[in-house]
Amino acid sequence: MLREHPAFRRFWISRAVSELGSAVTTVALPVLTYQQTHSAVLVSLVSAAATLPYVAFGLLAGALADRVDRRRLMVATDWLNALVLATIPLAHATHTLTTAHLLLAALTSASLTLFYEAAVYGLVPDIVGKHALARANSALYGVETLMRITGTAAAGTLIATLRPATTLAGDALSFAASALLVRAITRPAPHPAPPPRPSLRRSVTEGLRFLWHHRTLRLLTAVGTLQSFAGGAVIGQLVVFADRGLGLHDSDPRIGLLYTAWSAGGIGGSLLLPRLLRRFDAFRILLGVLPAGAALGVLVVLTRDWRPALPAITAWGCAYLVVLVNTMTYSQEVTPPHLQSRVNTTRRMLSSGLGVPLGALVASTVTVRAGIRAGMACAVVSLTLAALLVWTVRLRAAHLPTPPPP
């Protein structure tokens, strides 16, 4: 895959470098915020900044990315992100760092990342072609997951030796490196000239209209939102589940193994999906993997020992990633080039922007009222609804058409 597409190889390396830096920041920034404020609420706000931009700017980011040179937009947002993060260690060194600075930097960085990702949805099909999208998306999600595991594992040591603020300088450098690598990507051959660009408002409306009137994409958007709800419920309650469900208390290092198991399952899913797509179409994969994910969720919820929980969580994470990349790949295959960013950013807005935080909120509320197993079961219920949805469509003979080969 990488040998066949030098442009994709550069982009793949850029994602690996940038994701490694960002993974360290996901640990270092909350730690720095807590050192500055000793406030659990403010730490939560900094963590929530990663999803808030999807709700606030998702439609705008998609429309803008479809109107400009996507590669240039990605380079610009990378450089701006490097600048934003570099202000934190600089302010810390000069003793001018404030809580407002941290919150604003977290929100600005997440917003810039949103615009970057909106451009990615259209750039990847241009680089590799629609015939190689499944392999390309799996390679990207796989390396991002691997770097996330590596970065979060290394974060504790880096924070202890370099201090949190200094550690953030490394993420700033990773964004700068990403900008240089993306800038070196050979410009894809241009598509036929599109019609005159409509207003920004009309651009947003066009993307929404295409998504709403495409029956299959509408279905997959609903499935993706339910899937993300389940992911938010699992990750949001995993520490509590470890404590109250598996007996891993306080700072037991085995708690980290649960997160690693979920991420490792994601790597397995990224390797499995291209093989599945060689034998089944996207809809048939959903018919099998969604019920399997729900069944694995039941197994996790019922287990009371961390040892059987690890392989069950790994397999659950694998099923989760297969559904995630499968739905994204199909969406990119059937969406016209000039609508790629709008349509796929809207889908991501509904899943990551709404589904993940809503799943975490609902699961935590249920945990408070009915216990941790009931809270974790929220993820199982959500996946079961997604499985019932696709099977209902299947039984009504409204199956997913396989896109013709390019």
Q: Which domains does the chain have, with CATH numbers?
A: 6-184 (1.20.1250.20), 204-395 (1.20.1250.20)
User: Residues 195-207: what's their mean pLDDT?
Assistant: 70
Contact 49, 106 (CB under 8 A): yes
337 DSSP 8-state letter: G
Quick check: 406 pLDDT over 50? no
pLDDT tens digits for range 34-48: 788 877 567 757 766
pLDDT category of residue 290 using cuts at 50, 70 and 90? very high
The proportion of the chain whose per-residue pLDDT surpasses 90, expressed as a percent, equals: 32
Q: Report the alpha-carbon distance of residue 332 to residue 324 in Å, rounded.
A: 13
| pLDDT at residue 236, rounded to an integer | 76
Q: Report the alpha-carbon distance of residue 320 to residue 18 in Å, rounded.
A: 23
| pLDDT at residue 59, rounded to an integer | 82
Total-model pTM: 0.76
pLDDT tens digits for range 107-161: 999 999 999 999 998 888 888 888 888 888 888 888 888 898 888 778 777 877 8
Task: State how far Cα 75 lies from the chain centre.
Answer: 20
DSSP H or E stretch at residue 127: helix 99-128
Task: Produce one character per residue of 224-233: b if its CB has 16 or more CB atoms within 10 Å, e if not.
Answer: bbbbbbbbbb
pLDDT tens digits for range 246-289: 888 766 667 778 878 888 888 888 889 888 988 888 889 999 99
pLDDT category of residue 291 using cuts at 50, 70 and 90? very high
- Sequence-separated (6 or more) residues with CB below 8 Å from residue 53: 61, 107, 110, 111, 113, 114, 353
User: Residues 385-391: what's their mean pLDDT?
Assistant: 94
Contact 203, 63 (CB under 8 A): yes
Contact 307, 274 (CB under 8 A): no
| pLDDT at residue 121, rounded to an integer | 87
Contact 114, 52 (CB under 8 A): no
Locate tokens 């993306």: which residue?
182
